[in-house]
Amino acid sequence: MRFVDEFRDPQAADALVKAIRRTVTRPWTLMEVCGGQTHAIVRFGIDQLLPQSLTLVHGPGCPVCVTPIEQIDRAITLARRSDVILCSYGDMLRVPGSGTDLLAERAAGADVRIVYSPMDALTIAQKTPDRQVVFFAVGFETTAPPNAMAVFQAQAMGVPNFSVLVSHVLVPPAIGAVLDDPDCLVNGFLAAGHVCTIMGCAEYEPIARERGVPIVVTGFEPVDILAGILRCVEMLERGENGVANQYARMVRADGNPGARRLCAQVFQTVDRKWRGLGSIPLSGWDLRPEYSDYDAAIRFGLQEMTADEPVECRSGLVLQGRMKPSDCPMFGSVCTPERPLGATMVSSEGACAAYFRYRRRTGVSE
């Protein structure tokens, strides 16, 4: 498959691994921000190929994992209404709310549908004018443009029975929050390539300069990730900070201006609660007042709903890179994909789920 096979090429990967080994002279800790990268690292065993002095920690970039529990509860409340069709991406369905999850609600009779795009949900709304259709609009900057487009189109076409339950989160404030932690061990970041495809690289420059860290925009295939790691350790060894773009085949410096414009038109930046991390100032997007007619939380009066996360779940430490999933006392015993305590054990991009699936037994070294 073009654009995949060449980035999974064993020779290219091996050459990068050797270059990394030659470059690293001191212990470094890198954080890959995006859950998709975490998944690839564990799936392809990339971390096993690295020198021991180089540690990868897994960041907060799993959209399913960081969606706050009360937002799941809101979605469940909506799904239980007989007049609502709740549309969602597939992997949100297994995430536990305070009591149950959307898959269980569907089994109990709720009309919960997996879609591949918010535009599919909009189409369902047009075809079923007698029902309320709500799209569960979660995710980072990557998934925001299609959600913005769906709301924009709903208003333009006048689809009154469509709305979105928004819980967008933003990467730069999350990196800032990780660095703010006094116990932070991270020396450099692999930034999420697909987020930068939309947003570009510029917003990372101030973080890199002010905090004195290298931030390397990195892709998702093994060769991409190894190249990102190499670039990052080269910068660290030379004492450089700043932003480097190792995913230039996808990411332009200014991102996707059309998508950014649309997001700016539909969304405004707000304080956002992150599951496992708590509230981070100006770290999310919500609908602007001029689109509030399409805000499901307002339409169905759910704004005041709150919920607390299970105290025994340590996913906050995992999401900040302060704990490896396998070091959590609940991992694999109390907390499993069948009975997850937190969302990091649910999503295929969640660090705990990736460890459970690929690293649980002793035979494979970590």
Partner 1 sequence: MSERSGGWSVCPIPISRYPRVVMAHGGGGRIMARLISDMFRAAFDNAELNQGHDGAVLDVSAHAASGGRIAMTTDSYVVRPLRFPGSTIGAMAVNGTANDLAMCCAEPRWLTTGFILEEGLAMETLWEMVCSMADAAALAGVHIVTGDTKVVEHGRGDGMYINTAGVGLVRPGADCRAQRVEPGDAVILSGDVGRHGMAVMTVREGLEFEAEITSDCAPVWPTVRAMLEAGIDIHCLRDATRGGLASAVVEIAEASGTSIHLTESAIEVQPQVAAACELLGFDPIYVANEGRFVAFVPSRQADAALEAMADTLPGARPSVIGRVEASDPGMVALRSVIGGERIVDMLSGEQLPRIC
Binding site for partner 1 (CB under 8 A): 1, 4, 8-10, 13-14, 36, 42-49, 63-64, 89-94, 103, 114, 116, 138-140, 142-143, 194, 222-223, 336-338, 347-349, 356-364
DSSP strand pairing (54-61 vs 214-218)? unpaired
Element (H, E) at 69: helix 69-80
- Written as six digits, the tokens of 283 are 């770290």
Distance CA 119, CA 146 (A): 7
Cα–Cα dist 180/177, whole Å = 5
Closest to partner 1 by CB, 238 vs 361, is: 361
Judged by beta carbon, residue 176 or residue 337, the one nearer partner 1 is: 337
Instruction: Report the residue number, 155 or 358, with the smaller CB distance to partner 1.
Output: 358
Q: How far is the CB of 184 from partner 1 (least distance, A)?
A: 26
CB of residue 337 to partner 1, shortest distance in Å: 4
Q: How near is the Cβ of 130 to partner 1 at its closest, in Å?
A: 18
Residue with Cβ nearer partner 1 (47 or 73): 47
Neighbouring C-beta atoms of residue 12, cutoff 10 Å: 15
Residue whose C-alpha is closest to residue 224's, from 44, 63, 55, 88 = 44
Rounded CA-CA distance 257/197 in Å is: 10
> Would you say 80 or 360 has its CB closer to partner 1?
360
Q: Give the phi and the psi of residue 333 in degrees, each rounded to 5.
A: -110, -75
Main-chain dihedrals φ then ψ at residue 128, nearest 5 degrees: -125, 70
- Give me the phi and psi of 108, to 5 degrees please: -85, 5
Of the candidates 60, 73, 67, 59, the residue with the CA atom closest to the CA atom of residue 89: 67
Per the structure block, which two tokens stand in for 120?
Answer: 């599919």
Contact 214, 239 (CB under 8 A): no
Find the shortest distance in angstroms from Cβ 42 to partner 1. Answer: 6
C-beta closer to partner 1: residue 24 or 317: 24
Distance in Å, CB of 272 to partner 1, minimum: 17
Burial state string for 57-82 with b = 16 or more CB within 10 A and e = fewer than 16: bbbbbbbbbbbbbbbbbbbbbbbeee
Does an H or E element contain 65, and which? Answer: helix 63-66
Question: What secondary structure letter does DSSP report for 332?
Answer: T
Residue 342: closest CA among 38, 19, 72, 96: 96
Least separation in angstroms between residue 133's CB and partner 1 is 18
Indicate the residue among 9 and 290 with the shorter CB distance to partner 1. 9
CB of 2 to partner 1, least distance (A): 9
CB of 304 to partner 1, least distance (A): 27
Given the complex with partner 1, which of 104 and 307 has the nearer CB atom? 104
CA distance 219 to 159: 37
Nearer to partner 1 among residue 42 and residue 233 (C-beta): 42
